[in-house]
Amino acid sequence: MVGTLYLIPVPLGPTPPQDSLTAGVLATIRPLTHFIVEQAKTARAFLKAAGTDRPIQELHLAELNEHTKREALDNLLAPLRAGADVGLLSEAGCPAVADPGANLVALAQMEGIRVVPLIGPSSLLLALMASGLNGQRFAFQGYLPAKEAERTKSLRDLESESRKRAQTQLFIETPYRNRAMFDAILATCHPGTRLTIATDLTLPGESIRTLTIQQWKKQTPPDIERRPTVFLLLA
């Protein structure tokens, strides 16, 4: 009998798992012995805090990250084919969303392996919920180009699409480039476009604010450098 692949959310920062994961999710994690993780060290810390039936040193952890080659994915499914249930972890938030685990989930679906997403924190949905922007029609764009000219073009295209479809655009940036992204948005987008900056979601320093571009230009720039942030705009 083939095992089940559980998609296990992880807190969005250094907070106890019990603060953001339900008792049912924690109960699902506890008996698992096989995990696929981005980094073994941080995964062990999370699993120790979440609680497992077996000692941490007896768990089987296989790494899957941005450097994993596609041909290596097949071997990661071996425990599932042998009948073991496996947990897939991201570094933070929900696995397989803007996350290398998506490739593994695609392969599992192709093989008919049961995939079960568990309830947990999603920075994207939390940001959208609190933004006041259109939650009926929205699109996640992942990371925008890092080069200035390409990023400017991408922002213009997203704003145009947002205006045409009344669609909220969500995107993220590498935390150390957050301020550069913020400055680019203010320099590129129309004054009436609304921009939400959602930072450190679920953490003590959480900040979620929506203003027009014109209003943002009159504010002290938000403290977002090197802090996990979701950007949302609606033209």
Write out pLDDT tens, residues 88-97.
Answer: 999 999 999 9
Name which of 208, 195, 126, 131 is nearest 162 in CA terms.
Answer: 195
Residue 71 confidence (pLDDT):
84
Helix (H, G, I), strand (E, B) or coil at 15: coil
Alpha carbon distance 212, 92 (integer Å): 29
Q: Are 127 and 232 in contact (CB under 8 A)?
A: yes
pTM of the entire predicted model: 0.92
Check residue 186 and report its DSSP letter. H
For the chain, the average pLDDT equals: 96
CA atoms in the 13 A half-sphere facing the CB of 150: 5
Kindly tell me if the per-residue pLDDT of 184 is higher than 90. Answer: yes
For residue 69, give every residue at least 6 positions away whose Cβ sits within 8 Å of its Cβ, in sequence order, or none.
Answer: none
Kindly tell me if the per-residue pLDDT of 169 is higher than 90. Answer: yes
Place of tokens 């559980």: 6
Rg (CA), the chain: 19
Residue 137 confidence (pLDDT):
98
Could you tell me the residue ranges of all domains in the chain? Answer: 4-117, 123-234
Q: Are 234 and 192 in contact (CB under 8 A)?
A: no
Kindly tell me if the per-residue pLDDT of 209 is higher than 90. Answer: yes
Check residue 222 and report its DSSP letter. P
Six-digit token pair at 79? 């425990």
**For 106-165, how does the pLDDT look when each residue is reduced to its tens digit (9 = 90+)?**
999 999 999 999 999 999 999 999 999 999 999 999 999 999 999 999 999 999 999 999
Residue 213 confidence (pLDDT):
98
CATH fold of 123-234: 3.30.950
Q: How confident is the model at residue 48 (pLDDT cuts 50, 70, 90)?
A: very high
Kindly tell me if the per-residue pLDDT of 70 is higher than 90. Answer: no
Across 182-202, average pLDDT = 98
CATH 3.30.930.10 fits 4-117, yes or no: no
Name which of 184, 198, 209 is nearest 231 in CA terms.
Answer: 198
Residue 4 confidence (pLDDT):
98
